[in-house]
Amino acid sequence: MVHSFGEGYYAFQALNRSLFKTENILDNLKVEFFGLTSNFRAEISKKGNFSQEEINLVIEVFRTAYSSASDDPVSRLRRIGASVYTENSDLDWSYIAGYEEVKRKIRESIILPLKNPDIYDSIAHLTRKTFESNRPRAVLFEGSPGVGKTTVARIIAGDVNVPLVYVPVESIMSKWYGQSSQNLAQIFDATEDLGGAIIFLDEIDSLAGSREQSMFEATRRILSVLLRKLDGIDSVTRTITIGATNRKHDLDHALISRFDQTIHFPLPNDRERGAIFSNYATHLSETELTGLAELTEGVSGRSIKDICESTERRWARTLIIKQLPLSSPEYKYYKHTAQSWMEEHKR
């Protein structure tokens, strides 16, 4: 009998009369799995001949095991919990207001190498005694929540025309011993099978904190896998890992050293906040946009979007209750929402 306790977890028991006697478990039937995250294979052996029931069991085991192992990379990634964006053309750099220095660093350190790998490799052949790729393998995005790190990763993927593999922390972590590190390794392996992608590890500080602090064994194993994968990822010429954090000081020093560059995302300044408001309130005048920008000092781009969405909902209720014709929200509604948001978040 095969008992399934969840995806990837099976118990095997011999087919005989006394199913609940421990001495009958597997009863001379040996089942082994190798390479759970890559180069998967299964072996089933027994001294003597297989019975018809055991042959049926073997067929079912192979059918179940290999159907999962042979899935396409996108299906494997989604089963783990990663999101795969293969179409990112709906966003471009005009969506990001301001951040000119951030954009310049990203173009130089990520986009140009991904678009022109041959030029970078040719230079390395000319300059190095032993060839090693000089293209970046990993870049760290550091900044407060809501400053656009995830959005920028999507724009990069669309610009260089490769899939974006978004990996949230909860997709990696598992209660089963050793499974979290296997999940992470499987993500890198599946991405390699894709032929290249942007791997975006969100909240990487939660996955791989500093070893100077107390660390669970599971976290230590995850960090070990991550360090190995970042060292060897240049086997795929169009893959780069982007880690995102708002707590760089909590990252392990060995991990920080694996990133070719750290790009800091600051909170937007007055001019940038006005430009962000203009993306979500196109009908407002320059003077009104400036007023909102001055009201919201220290606010992130995501919070500005939240303020505008809240304003639109308040305005919709006003139109419905007062039975007014459709129109854009008035400036005073944006101003009131922004003031309320600032007051609430000062507490």
Name the domain boundary from 54, 70, 86. Answer: 70
Residue 169 is predicted with a pLDDT of 79
Whole-angstrom Cα distance, residue 271 to residue 278? 11
At 13 the pLDDT is: 52
Residue 174 · residue 140 · CB < 8 Å:
no
Give Cα 9 to chain centroid, integer Å: 25
Order of all β-strands in the sheet with 138-143 = 83-85, 164-167, 198-201, 240-245, 138-143, 261-265
Cβ atoms of residues 263 and 139 within 8 Å: yes
Q: How many CB atoms lie within 10 A of CB 308?
A: 20
pTM: 0.74
Per-residue model confidence (pLDDT) at position 44: 78
- DSSP helix/strand/coil, 261: strand
Q: Is 219 helix (H, G, I), strand (E, B) or coil?
A: helix
**Burial, 260: exposed, middle or buried (Cβ in 10 Å; 0-12, 13-18, 19+)?**
middle
pLDDT < 50 positions in the chain: 1-10, 19, 22, 25-26, 37-38, 214, 234
Give the pLDDT confidence score for residue 226 in this predicted structure.
Answer: 86
Q: Phi then psi for 98, rounded to 5 degrees?
A: 70, -145
Number of helices (H), then strands (E), in the chain: 15, 10
CB 27 within 8 A of CB 17: no
First to last CA, the chain: 59
Are 141 and 265 within 8 A, CB to CB? yes
Question: Of 12, 39, 70, which one is at a domain's C-terminal end?
Answer: 70
- Judge if 90 and 160 occupy the same domain: yes
CATH number of the CATH domain containing 128? 3.40.50.300
Residues 169 and 227 in one domain: yes
Domain region containing 333 = 270-346
Q: Which of 50, 70, 90 is the last residue of a domain?
A: 70
Co-location of 294 and 329 in the same domain:
yes
- What is the model's pLDDT at position 295? 95
User: Using an 8 Å Cβ cutoff, are 14 and 29 in contact?
Assistant: yes
Q: What is the DSSP string of 265-292?
A: EPPP-HHHHHHHHHHH-TTS-HHHHHHH
Displacement of CA 192 from its chain's centroid (Å): 15
146, 251: one domain: yes
- Specify whether 18 is located in the same domain as 104: no
Q: Are residues 63 and 85 in the same domain?
A: no
Number of domains present in the structure of the chain: 3
Q: Look-up: residue for tokens 């025309």?
A: 161
One-letter amino acid of 176: W
- Residues 184, 316, single domain; the answer is no
Domain co-membership, 35 together with 154: no
> What confidence score (pLDDT) does residue 5 get?
44
Residues 260 and 138 in one domain: yes
Q: Write the burial class of residue 245 (CB in 10 Å: 0-12 exposed, 13-18 middle, 19+ buried).
A: buried
Q: Are residue 38 and residue 121 in the same domain, yes or no? A: no
Residue 99 — φ and ψ, nearest 5°? 55, 40
Residues 106 and 232 reside in one and the same domain: yes
CA neighbor of 244 nearest in space, from 113, 344, 151: 151
Q: Is 148 helix (H, G, I), strand (E, B) or coil?
A: coil
